[in-house]
Structure 1
Amino acid sequence: MSLELSPRAIEIAEHTKVLLAAGGYNGFSYADLSERVRIGKPSIHHHFPSKAELVQTVVTLHRQQTREGLAALDSQITDPLARLSAYTAYWSKCIREGSAPICICAMLAAELPMIPQGIAVEVSGYFKDLTSWIAAVLAEGAAKGQFKLTESPAVEAQAFLSTVHGAMLTARASKNPEAFESISRAAIGRLKAA
């Protein structure tokens, strides 16, 4: 899938990301998107002939942006503990400000059995990418004596990722952004070596 998008297609994708965070794949229609972007449904179909193609593009972009963001953390923050804290701080800020109240891939993962296969592949790839990055950070931190892992870095990464994404749901359900912060802080605390 080509990711060379026109400015209008990028605008459509950005609004779609907001709608996905609000209600997942089945939580919006092209009519909802048309109202947000203020263009007709035929114009949306011109850029994205199907909803599946649109959402797959959005998830592919999200995955690409996440990989770039994680690479930036790797290059800017040499300390593994600080890097993991920076990752959760990013989401804390997004949740607190409402700019990204939940990861769209977390929303879509809940719908995995019911969404088109191409989207499901991208969502699974997102989690694989993120788990690999967290595992590498944990392994590096364990080698430096910052983290005490009771399981393999891969298993610890899955547990941490599950906790962080669960914290997003807790913050949403309780309408309390601070819940995410306290849960993610506790998750990092459990990994820290004494």
Structure 2
Amino acid sequence: MVRSANNTRQQLVEISADLLCRRGFSGFSYQDLANELGIRKASVHHHFPQKADLGLALCDWTEAWLLDGFQHFDRQAKGAVDKLNRYLRAAAKHAFNDDKQCPISALHSDLPVLSEAIQQRLKALSETELSWVAAVFQQGLENGELQAPQPATDAREMARLFIVACKGALFYARLLGREHFEQSMALLLRQWLPQTHQ
């Protein structure tokens, strides 16, 4: 089979993304990629001279993956609470059915070995995720689906707690079981539901 350079590059990114989510950034090598694709390791270096170059390409892939998921939730969901529940179901499927970490979490786990450029991109990716979740909380506060626990708490603070709790619960649930994740997140969400919706 004749493989174009662009096609090979894209395949390398997609295989790397899968390995990133399964093993972390430090958990796979260029030899692993070469073996997966049936090419020489030198060919991997041709497309990505250093692993830091591949890391930046993985950040691009992660951004597209995030935005695609958020657009899907925006199209399909019936309100803010439904969007949050879809986010949680997608996170659970990724972790428990597919046995993967979210790529942002996977990169965070390898923070000490990431280049400064990748770390900056990772901050931007985290902000992209936070901004979407904050917009969902803002929608919920405005339409009455959600309530702030106290006047000083705004949508962005609620979104930050939601994301941190979700990723932390996923981390612990890998050992303790899916019900740990589902119970923890249900308890958190319940704090923000008006009494009439509980």
TM-score by length of 2: 0.85
Stretches (4+) displaced over 4 A: none
Contact kept, 8 Å, 2:59 with 2:122, in 1: the verdict is: yes
* Residues 6 and 135 of structure 1: CA distance in aligned 2, closer, same or farther (over 3 Å): same
Q: Which amino acid letter does the alignment assign opposite residue 129 of structure 2?
A: L
Match of 2:157?
155
Q: Which amino acid letter does the alignment assign opposite residue 158 of structure 2?
A: E
Question: Quick one: distance in 2 between partners of 1:119 and 1:128?
Answer: 14
Give 1:179 deviation, angstroms: 3.1
Question: Quick one: distance in 2 between partners of 1:96 and 1:159?
Answer: 22
Match of 1:191?
192
* Residues 172 and 128 of structure 1: CA distance in aligned 2, closer, same or farther (over 3 Å): same
User: Which 10-residue stretch deviates more, 120-129 or 35-44?
Assistant: 35-44
Give 1:47 deviation, angstroms: 1.8
| Equivalences for residues 39-188 of structure 1 within 5 A | 39-98=39-98, 101-150=100-149, 151-174=153-176, 176-188=177-189
Contact kept, 8 Å, 1:101 with 1:172, in 2: the verdict is: no
Match of 2:21?
21
Larger radius of gyration: 2
Give 1:67 deviation, angstroms: 1.4
Question: Quick one: distance in 2 between partners of 1:96 and 1:139?
Answer: 29
Give 1:153 deviation, angstroms: 0.9
Contact kept, 8 Å, 2:94 with 2:102, in 1: the verdict is: no
Root-mean-square deviation (Å): 1.9
Question: Quick one: distance in 2 between partners of 1:102 and 1:41?
Answer: 26
Equivalent pairs counted in the alignment come to: 188
Structure showing greater relative contact order (alpha-carbon pairs closer than 8 Å, 6 or more residues apart): 1
Contact kept, 8 Å, 2:9 with 2:47, in 1: the verdict is: yes
Residues 53-93 of structure 1 deviation map (CA, whole Å, 9 limit, x = unaligned): 11210121111221122123223324111111111111122
Percent identity reads: 26
Describe the SS at the equivalent of 1:191: coil
TM-score by length of 1: 0.87
Residues 137-179 of structure 1 deviation map (CA, whole Å, 9 limit, x = unaligned): 11110111111213111111111000111122112233x2343
Question: Quick one: distance in 2 between partners of 1:190 and 1:37?
Answer: 48
